[in-house]
Amino acid sequence: MNKVLFIDRDGVINKEKEYVHHPEEFEFIDGVFDALKKFNLLGYLIIIISNQAGIGRGLYTEEDFKNVSEWMLEEFRKHEVIITDIFYDPHHPVYGVGKYKKDSFDRKPNPGMIFKAVKKYDIDLKNSLLVGDKLSDIEAGINAGVETLFLVRTGHSVNEIIIPAGCTVIDALNDIFKFLG
């Protein structure tokens, strides 16, 4: 079975901005290449799981998302980082338009994207990690059975009063290695 680093995109990999969907808008967070390369060297598969409500809201298309994702993956390859896969959910239960207006089992905090990855890559959730910048990311990990959860402060503001038990708050992605031994 494979161990995986599940990682949110906006606010964890790239700086949090409103609905990033073009390479010129995409700004990597300092240290992300080094941190993810370390995870590759430690034998982790890296899987991005991302809500993409901007698609559902009609602000950009799935093709726009796929194009910026391909550009991002190429930037990772240039830095010798292997991203195994990207799972995304374009729906929004309230603000979605047309076919995108629905409550999806894949939209975090639901665990659907994680379960799809488990099925596709034979993942051991007990030895996997999840990093997000919002409570909905952490809740998705809890709902899927991921035991090691990190909430990073590089994206949305963190209210430490409501952090679930078992979740560690970190300032940056590289801080994870202080906890992994």
| Enzyme catalytic residues | 8, 10
Closest CA to 50 of 23, 30, 21, 27: 21
CA atoms within 13 A on the CB side of 47: 25
15 and 8 Cβ atoms separated by less than 8 Å = no
